[in-house]
């Protein structure tokens, strides 16, 4: 079933692969137990039939993801791995940013987990930087979750004292709810997008620690007021740090590098 709209497209989970497809693991879709049982008396809705029992659960719906995210977090902390979750709408420049950022960390082992619905394209681009990279294809899924990261990290087996960048599926809505176990969440906006983005997608800005404003080389050509954008973002999350960059031209990348290493 389609993860986004519920249409039936055949059962599919997510897959993990290296850029050259050398290891490709496909996981099954989630475990909802379906069974046939007789529907003889199920027009009754349990009104006073004497068998009703209330079971208190008081369980967060995202319990499983949150617990697994904390396990990921514990693993990263134990091995002193700084893990970053990069989130944004599609086309803001996440992959290019990583392509330009990774070579700056040539003294530190760097790993990347790429997330997209389909293709190995991004992983293949990152592969050229020399970082060890693995691609998660979510199929119809719209976000990465803690389980996917758990599986990918087991495959990557990162060294201690390293950097791990997780490039989430391009989507400003769904990834906001899913803790991956990261140290920091970095929300990336480009100046071609509109200064009211934080107001329109508050959950993503609220759950991030750093906001990267990318493509600042295009500021002369677009109607983007950086101060209005920052003010909107601060209304949602007053703890947000900001870095203004042009990944392609290099502006601001020193400051970004320092923030990551801090």
Partner 1 sequence: MHEFSLATNIIEIIQESVKEKNINQVTKVVLEIGELSGVEESALDTALESLIPGTVLANAVFEKTHTPGKAKCYTCNTEYQLSDLFEICPKCQGYEKEIISGKEFNILSIEIESV
6 Rama sector, left if φ>0, alpha if ψ -120 to 50, beta otherwise: left
**Closer Cβ to partner 1, 221 or 239, answer by number:** 239
Any contact of residue 176 with partner 1 (CB under 8 A)?
Answer: yes
Q: Which residues between 79 and 108 bind partner 1 (CB under 8 A)?
A: none
Q: Which residues between 189 and 208 bind partner 1 (CB under 8 A)?
A: 198-199, 202-203, 206
Any contact of residue 54 with partner 1 (CB under 8 A)?
Answer: yes
Any contact of residue 51 with partner 1 (CB under 8 A)?
Answer: yes
Q: Which residues between 139 and 158 bind partner 1 (CB under 8 A)?
A: 141-143, 145
Q: Which residues between 9 and 48 bind partner 1 (CB under 8 A)?
A: 30-36, 39, 42, 45-46
- Report the DSSP pairing between strands 15-17 and 132-137: antiparallel
Please count the other Cβ atoms lying within 10 Å of the Cβ belonging to residue 106: 9
With CB under 8 A as the contact rule, the residue among 75, 151, 177, 209 that binds partner 1 is 177
Residue 62 CB, shortest distance to partner 1, in Å, is: 7
212-246 core/surface letters (b: 16 or more CB in 10 A; e: else): bbbbbeeeeeeebeeeebbebbeebbeebebbbbb
Residue 82 CB, shortest distance to partner 1, in Å, is: 26
Q: Which residues make Cβ contacts (< 8 Å) with residue 20, sequence separation at least 6?
A: none
Number of shown-chain residues binding partner 1 (CB under 8 A): 53
Residue 41 CB, shortest distance to partner 1, in Å, is: 9
Residue 132 CB, shortest distance to partner 1, in Å, is: 28
Residue 54 CB, shortest distance to partner 1, in Å, is: 5
- Piece in contact with partner 1 (CB under 8 A), picked from 2-10, 71-79, 100-108, 254-262: 2-10
Q: Which two tokens stand for residue 58?
A: 């008081």
Any contact of residue 119 with partner 1 (CB under 8 A)?
Answer: no
Helix axes 63-78, 146-156, angle to 10 degrees: 30
Q: What is the DSSP letter of 29?
A: P
- Report the C-alpha gap between 252 and 262 in whole angstroms: 16
- Piece in contact with partner 1 (CB under 8 A), picked from 4-12, 71-79, 80-88, 89-97: 4-12
Cα first-last separation, the chain: 43
Entry field: residues in the chain: 262
205 Rama sector, left if φ>0, alpha if ψ -120 to 50, beta otherwise: alpha
Residues that bind partner 1 (CB under 8 A): 1-6, 30-36, 39, 42, 45-46, 49, 51-65, 141-143, 145, 173-174, 176-178, 198-199, 202-203, 206, 232, 234-238
């Amino acid at each position: 079933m389609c993860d986004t709209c519920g249409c039936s497209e055949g059962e599919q989970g997510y897959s993990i692969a290296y850029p050259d497809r050398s290891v490709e693991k496909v996981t099954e879709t989630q475990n909802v137990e379906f069974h046939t049982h007789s529907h003889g008396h199920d027009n009754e809705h349990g009104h006073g039939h004497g068998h009703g029992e209330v079971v208190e659960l008081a369980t967060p719906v995202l319990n499983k993801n949150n617990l697994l995210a904390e396990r990921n977090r514990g693993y990263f902390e134990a091995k002193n791995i700084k893990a970053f979750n990069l989130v944004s709408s599609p086309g803001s420049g996440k992959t290019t940013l990583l392509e330009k950022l990774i070579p700056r960390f040539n003294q530190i082992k760097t790993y990347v987990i790429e997330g997209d619905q389909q293709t190995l394209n991004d992983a293949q681009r990152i592969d050229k930087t020399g970082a060890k990279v693995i691609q998660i294809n979510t199929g119809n899924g719209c976000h990465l979750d803690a389980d996917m990261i758990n599986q990918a990290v087991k495959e990557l087996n990162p060294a201690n004292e390293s950097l791990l960048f997780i490039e989430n599926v391009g989507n400003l809505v769904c990834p906001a709810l899913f803790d991956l176990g990261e140290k920091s969440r970095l929300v990336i906006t480009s100046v071609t997008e509109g200064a009211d983005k934080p107001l329109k997608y508050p959950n993503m800005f609220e759950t991030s620690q750093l906001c990267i404003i990318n493509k600042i080389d295009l500021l002369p050509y677009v109607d983007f007021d950086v101060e209005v954008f920052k003010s909107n973002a601060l209304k949602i999350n007053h703890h947000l740090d900001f870095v203004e960059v042009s990944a392609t031209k290099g502006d601001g990348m020193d400051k970004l590098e320092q923030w990551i290493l801090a």
